[in-house]
């Protein structure tokens, strides 16, 4: 059944009507045209609200507000794979986040080979049937002797024991140190082995005879039986005791592989073989590797192991579950990442693809999946491999995207526009990718290559460089690269080729510490590295573009001078101005018993954050009377047109306002609300707000600005604004290094470094 949306008016949507069928649907459009409002704020929000209503008690009056839509039918349970949901738990790794860790623990506990902590011998307790099966297999090719081990490496004459055994079994069956006892006294100062020969068997022997001999060993209370064939002997344990030294051991459990060593608290010591694991887990190997050693491998390496390993039939289900998860990680292009890689160190694109891999392993059907730019951080070659994997998801898949390669794989495309903000919010095209390529829309023009992003004029040839020599961190192959000063350098390559390693783990720490980190040396101008990353702006959810850029200080002062209230009244972070019910958050937290908390719009301030006194204080801007909440609800473009011409501001404040707003509009963020909360901003939007802050700054010549995928969230139509800002920063003296896959940004670079040829161990070389 199709999802039918009628009369969607969320944010800037203009009463949108649209149907979404099974298969892969790509929703595209210029930045700020209403894509997120349609897919996440309308469709996903309403699906989540209906789902949570199932868990709401009948007595509860607290409910999520419905989406602003006339009707929405055909929607089922929906899973959102967003780019802002990052796993910041330092204890989380790729193995644990993908669900592989508990299965690996079970694999080692049930099918690993244990070794004695005392003598290092293999520990394996076999059942009666398993021992008989092993003996019968040997009997097909050779004769076998079976003996019951009674004493192992124990000093003494053992005279009384030997006399009793001879009376019971005869001297020819009593073996001392591997040979029949000759009735001579043993040297008591030396250790001796004593066993009873239970039988000699050949290919004509019956299984019942073999079984009788094994049962005799049990009757003697023996801990092991000695099986000898072709000058070879194997001690097989009948109980939880080492067959070589007699050390008793208890059963190892999967939980032990998640516990720290009690002696070193996980730091690694001799008693845990330097693994940091519980002592019982530290002495278990599988395929010749300890548990920590397996986790140091990449997904691709583990994939190869499981394709070739032979496990018992009892491990069939376990192998299936592990293989499904590894295949999913391979499918989404994460084969180059090590299983013990910390989750916080993953990029936004990698984190998102981990969650996508989890969805691919799910057996749930008729689930709607909505994804926010899943091609982030992907080389064009990797995008073509990733998109077909979405068809493995059982149910409708809706993807918000700006990538033309991704759009070309869709069954259906929905294009929103025609512009951003209030001039957008309409569906300008719906149909097949082939139809979009012919459509007279901005997306159609750029995706069909009828229009191109203008390329920046190249700067003069650089005459000063930073040189990194002998970089060997992670997968880098002792490479040496030059990066020009006061120029735009773009580093590209397939996912996992070593781009982030070179910049974030070699260049940045080396410049910060003044010492080579992950390389042999660095030469050139001493620059201060500044990571313009995609982390949320500010330190808490109260942050927004206004507070981050300090525009709010100027706005508060203006409202204070015009209304007679203090500037503190116009801050929702201060008790003078904040709504007393929600403390200036604009929403109240509702804790759920079995699910994460939800936030409900504050009914007292209607989400405006301020108290009644402040909301009633309004000032005039051109033809409009606006409260402070109304002002923060304006788009940055609207604020630009109002505030830059306001004569009530001093000349210095007006210039400051104009500089900040010009930068935000130029970089393509004019559609954002000035008071839009930090958590609702995409990573790309947060990064561009940070970047705009540096325009017009002094002393840029001493700074190295580093950006990772700044094209995230940008339509090709908006890219030139970003390029213009980068160009202005370079002209003001900044040295800029960009990690990027977007070909339009690559074409505008002053200097290009291409790493490859592949990912992981097969990458880390300079191709260009």
Dihedral of CA atoms 132, 138, 139, 141 in degrees, nearest 10, equals 170
Mean pLDDT within 104-127: 81
The residue ranges of DSSP E strands in 617-764, in sequence order, are 618-621, 624-627, 703-708, 735-739, 751-756
Q: State how far the Cα of 511 lies from the Cα of 518, in Å rounded to an integer.
A: 12
Local structure of 40: helix, strand or coil:
helix
Provide the whole-model pTM: 0.78
Q: How much of the chain, in percent, has pLDDT values that exceed 90?
A: 48
Judged by average pLDDT, the poorest of 119-133, 162-176, 382-396 is: 119-133
What are the angstrom distances between the C-alpha of 170 and each of 148, 149, 150, 177? 15, 16, 16, 16
For the record, the structure tokens of 676 come out as 């839009």
Q: How much is the pLDDT for 170?
A: 87
Q: State how far the Cα of 118 lies from the Cα of 347, in Å rounded to an integer.
A: 44
Half-sphere exposure of 45 (CA within 13 A, CB side): 19
Q: How much is the pLDDT for 691?
A: 87
Residue 88 pLDDT greater than 80, yes or no: no
What are the angstrom distances between the C-alpha of 502 and each of 509, 751, 766? 10, 15, 11
Give 395's pLDDT tier (boundaries 50, 70, 90): confident
DSSP annotation of 506: I
Q: How much is the pLDDT for 168?
A: 87
Collect all residues with Cβ–Cβ distance below 8 Å to 367 and sequence separation of at least 6: 76, 77, 78, 79, 393, 394, 395
Alpha helices in 98-199 (DSSP H): 101-111, 128-139, 159-169
Q: How far is CA 48 from the centre of its chain?
A: 23
Give 243's pLDDT tier (boundaries 50, 70, 90): low
Q: How much is the pLDDT for 94?
A: 94
Domains in the chain, start-ordered, CATH in brackets? 3-85+347-448 (3.40.50.300), 94-114+251-331 (1.20.1580.10), 118-237 (3.30.190.20), 454-536+681-767 (3.40.50.300), 550-679 (1.20.1580.10)
Residue 85 pLDDT greater than 70, yes or no: no
Q: How much is the pLDDT for 13?
A: 94
| Tens-digit pLDDT profile for residues 504-514 | 999 999 999 98
What are the angstrom distances between the C-alpha of 108 and each of 118, 281, 327, 497, 748? 20, 8, 20, 32, 52
Q: How much is the pLDDT for 495?
A: 82
| Tens-digit pLDDT profile for residues 626-656 | 999 999 999 999 999 999 888 899 999 999 9
**Which bin fits 548, alpha (ψ -120 to 50), beta or left (φ > 0)?**
alpha
| Tens-digit pLDDT profile for residues 690-727 | 888 887 677 888 999 999 888 887 889 888 888 988 99
Q: How much is the pLDDT for 619?
A: 94
Give 315's pLDDT tier (boundaries 50, 70, 90): confident
Contact 440, 431 (CB under 8 A): no
Residue 438 pLDDT greater than 80, yes or no: yes
What sign results for the dihedral spanned by CA atoms 289, 294, 297, 302?
Answer: positive
Local structure of 218: helix, strand or coil:
helix
Q: How much is the pLDDT for 62?
A: 63
Judged by average pLDDT, the poorest of 196-205, 529-538, 633-642 is: 529-538
| Tens-digit pLDDT profile for residues 343-362 | 988 877 788 889 989 988 98
Residue 59 pLDDT greater than 60, yes or no: no
Cis omega (within 30 of 0) for bond into 232: no
Residue 682 pLDDT greater than 90, yes or no: no
Judged by average pLDDT, the poorest of 37-46, 274-283, 395-404 is: 274-283
| Tens-digit pLDDT profile for residues 485-497 | 999 999 999 888 8
Residue 6 pLDDT greater than 60, yes or no: yes
For the record, the structure tokens of 237 come out as 């344990």
For the record, the structure tokens of 687 come out as 């990064």
| Tens-digit pLDDT profile for residues 552-567 | 999 999 999 999 999 9
| Tens-digit pLDDT profile for residues 575-625 | 999 999 999 999 888 777 766 777 888 889 999 999 999 999 999 998 889
- Size of the chain in residues: 768
Dihedral of CA atoms 725, 729, 735, 739 in degrees, nearest 10, equals -10
Judged by average pLDDT, the poorest of 315-319, 348-352, 755-759 is: 348-352
Q: How much is the pLDDT for 266?
A: 81
Alpha helices in 140-183 (DSSP H): 159-169
Mean pLDDT of the chain: 88
DSSP 624-666: EEEEHHHHHTSBHHHHHHHHTT-TTS-HHHHHHHHHHHHHHHH
Residue 399 pLDDT greater than 70, yes or no: yes
What sign results for the dihedral spanned by CA atoms 536, 540, 546, 550?
Answer: negative
Mean pLDDT within 41-70: 81
Q: What is the CA radius of gyration of the chain?
A: 35
């Amino acid at each position: 059944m199709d999802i039918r949306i009628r009369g969607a008016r969320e944010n800037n949507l203009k009463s949108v009507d649209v149907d979404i069928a099974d298969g892969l649907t790509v929703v595209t459009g210029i930045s700020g045209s209403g894509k997120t409002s349609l897919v996440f704020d309308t469709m996903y929000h309403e699906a989540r609200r209906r789902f949570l209503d199932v868990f709401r008690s009948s007595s509860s009056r607290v409910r999520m507000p419905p989406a602003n839509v006339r009707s929405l039918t055909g929607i089922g349970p929906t899973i959102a794979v967003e780019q802002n949901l990052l796993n910041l738990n330092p204890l989380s790794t790729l193995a644990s986040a993908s669900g592989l860790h508990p299965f690996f623990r079970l694999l080692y506990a049930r099918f690993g080979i244990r070794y004695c902590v005392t003598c290092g011998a293999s520990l394996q307790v076999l059942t009666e049937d398993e021992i008989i099966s092993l003996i019968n297999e040997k009997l097909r090719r050779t004769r076998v002797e079976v003996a019951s081990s009674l004493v192992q490496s124990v000093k003494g004459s053992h005279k009384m024991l030997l006399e009793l055994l001879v009376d019971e079994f005869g001297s020819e069956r009593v073996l001392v140190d591997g040979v029949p006892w000759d009735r001579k006294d043993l040297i008591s100062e030396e250790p001796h082995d004593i066993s009873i020969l239970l039988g000699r068997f050949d290919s004509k022997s019956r299984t019942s005879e073999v079984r009788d001999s094994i049962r005799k060993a049990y009757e003697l209370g023996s801990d092991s039986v000695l099986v000898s064939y072709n000058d070879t002997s194997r001690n097989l344990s009948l109980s939880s005791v080492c067959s070589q030294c007699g050390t008793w051991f208890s059963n190892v459990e999967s939980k032990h592989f998640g516990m720290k060593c009690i002696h070193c608290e996980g730091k690694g010591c001799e008693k845990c073989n330097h693994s940091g694991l519980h002592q019982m887990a530290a002495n278990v190997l599988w395929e010749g590797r300890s548990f920590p050693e397996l986790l140091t491998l990449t997904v691709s390496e583990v994939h190869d192991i499981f394709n070739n390993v032979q496990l018992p039939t009892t491990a069939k289900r376990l192998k299936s579950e592990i293989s499904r998860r590894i295949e999913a990680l391979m499918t989404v292009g994460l084969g180059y990442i090590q299983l013990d890689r910390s989750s916080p160190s993953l990029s936004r694109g990698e984190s998102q693809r981990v969650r996508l891999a989890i969805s691919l392993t799910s057996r749930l059907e008729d689930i709607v999946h909505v994804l926010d730019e899943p091609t982030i951080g992907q080389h064009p070659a990797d995008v073509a491999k990733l998109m077909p994997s979405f068809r493995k998801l059982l149910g409708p898949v809706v993807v918000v995207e700006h990538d033309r390669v991704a759009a070309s794989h869709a069954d259906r495309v929905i294009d929103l526009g025609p512009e951003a903000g209030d001039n957008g919010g309409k569906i300008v095209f719906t149909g097949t990718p082939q139809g979009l390529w012919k459509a007279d829309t901005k997306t159609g023009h750029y995706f069909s290559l009828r229009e191109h992003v203008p390329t920046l004029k190249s700067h003069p040839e650089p005459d000063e460089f930073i040189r990194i020599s002998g970089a060997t961190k992670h997968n880098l192959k002792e490479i040496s690269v030059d990066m020009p000063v006061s120029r735009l350098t773009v580093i590209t390559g397939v996912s996992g080729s070593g781009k982030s390693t070179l910049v974030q783990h070699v260049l940045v720490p080396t410049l910060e510490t003044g010492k080579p980190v992950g390389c042999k040396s660095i030469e050139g101008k001493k620059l201060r590295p500044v990571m313009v990353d995609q982390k949320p702006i500010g330190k808490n959810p109260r942050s927004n573009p206004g507070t981050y850029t300090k525009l709010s200080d100027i706005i508060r002062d203006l409202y204070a001078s015009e209304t007679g209230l203090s500037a503190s009244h116009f801050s929702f972070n201060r008790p003078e101005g904040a709504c007393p019910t929600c403390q200036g958050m604009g929403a109240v937290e509702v804790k759920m018993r079995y699910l994460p908390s939800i936030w409900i719009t504050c009914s007292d301030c209607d989400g405006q954050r301020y108290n009644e006194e402040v909301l009633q204080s309004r000032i005039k801007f051109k033809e409009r009377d606006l409260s402070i909440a109304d002002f923060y609800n304006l788009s940055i473009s609207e604020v630009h047109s109002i505030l830059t011409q306001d004569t009530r501001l001093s000349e210095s404040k007006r210039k400051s306002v104009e500089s900040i707003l010009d930068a935000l509009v130029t970089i393509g963020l004019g559609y954002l609300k000035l008071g839009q909360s930090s958590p609702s901003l995409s990573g790309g939007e947060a990064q561009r707000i940070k970047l705009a802050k540096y325009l017009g700054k002094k002393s840029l010549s001493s700074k190295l600005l580093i950006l990772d995928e700044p094209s995230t969230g940008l339509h090709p139509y908006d890219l030139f604004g970003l390029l213009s800002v980068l160009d202005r920063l370079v002209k003001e003296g900044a040295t800029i290094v960009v990690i990027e896959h977007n070909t339009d940004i690559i074409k505008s670079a002053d200097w290009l470094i291409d790493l490859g040829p592949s990912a992981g161990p097969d990458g880390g070389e300079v191709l260009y």
